[in-house]
Structure 1
Amino acid sequence: MTFVALINPNTSVATTEMMAAIARRTLRSDDGYEVLGVTVADGPTMLVDEDVLRAAGPQVLAAARSTLAGPEGERVKALVVGAFGDPGIEELRAWADVPVVVIAEAAMAEAAAGGRRFGIATTTPGLAAAIAARVDRLGRSSQYTGIRLTPGDPLELAAAPEVMRERLADAVGACIAEDGAEAVIIGGGPLGEAAEAVQGRFPVPVIGPVPAACREVRRVLERS
């Protein structure tokens, strides 16, 4: 089996389990993959602003070190970081001797394929500036139509998944109708189930970042 460790940069074990379950639908055991869900040791249950996003970087690196030093470490062939701000990515890539895939980078590459213009729909206004900076750093600004944010507190929305899904669907619709997006990313690993729920409602691709990252993992590992 090819082991892939999916690191959740927040401390919600339920979120880790949800993202790992989504990942396993792309990195399937029938195809020889095993997804290990890894939860960081310290931090908030959801990353909602730039301060906690920055603070998550060292926690991600520590979780990766612990995982690769652990009993399954020698079998782990790739790491996935499951937060849309891609915390700790530079340090992790500099240190790790296995491929490191991050969900924002992978989702943007997929959304922008073929020159498509893409938008992002998410629940965290406190991360809007960080997301825009990540778009710019990845060289995607010319294709980026902007971000659409759901109304309401992100943590309260996370506790009301049906409401969150509908508000995200409204945000996706605005990306398409008002901003001209030809693809829309649901901006957040913890929004993975919501992303799956709203896919198929729209005439353009709605991209869940966790499956996008897993598809990138497959491409990277199958090339090596």
Structure 2
Amino acid sequence: MTKLSVNINKIATLRNSRGGDVPNVVQFAKDVQRFGAQGVTVHPRPDERHIRYQDAYDLKPEVYTEYNIEGNPVDSFMKLVLSIKPTQVTLVPDAVNAITSNAGWDTLKHKDFLIDIINEFKRNDIRTSIFVDPVLKQIEGAKETGTDRIELYTETFAHQYSLGNKEAIKPYAECAQLASKLGLGINAGHDLSLDNIQFFKENIPNLLEVSIGHALIAESLYLGVENVINMYLHKLK
């Protein structure tokens, strides 16, 4: 079964919009695990506009499933991850002013940089994953960095699928096949939802984990958090 890691950034965004501590990020993480999620994901950015660095520390003792911290490996992020030592760190090349992640790494151009960063995490026994576009040469480049896994950036698939274009899955399936051949674990995330997750899972071989936040939280407003998590788990079997 593909694991579901719930990205709780949107809970922090809601909390920050009002001030105070409602909804409580740590309690929400505890709840999604209790409801069956197999992981918790956070993506702190330097401006702390949603998840704050302190949140990442506060979550450490409460995440008993898989703890995944995403982000651009700037100095403050490196210090955070090396201090917390989560289950997994996912490297994302997001710009400081990006609303959300919008591209994968150029694993060829940034090969040496990624090798140095990944080696540092490996020395600290932290599993690494890097965010990549569904391009075969980028998968080959990812292998050269020494990463344990890749996370396929799925926004293009999700958009095309919503337009009825199921052929958009092909480059993702091809990249997953190559990644498996090269011995890379496969994660995926960005704009995956209840509408497209089952089709995606059924067509991506050896999909280990999906990280879902925005869609899951939006769907939960109508259907309830526990119900939505179990709907995802059913589709990911």
TM-score normalised by structure 2 residue count: 0.37
Larger helix proportion, structure 1 or 2?
Answer: 1
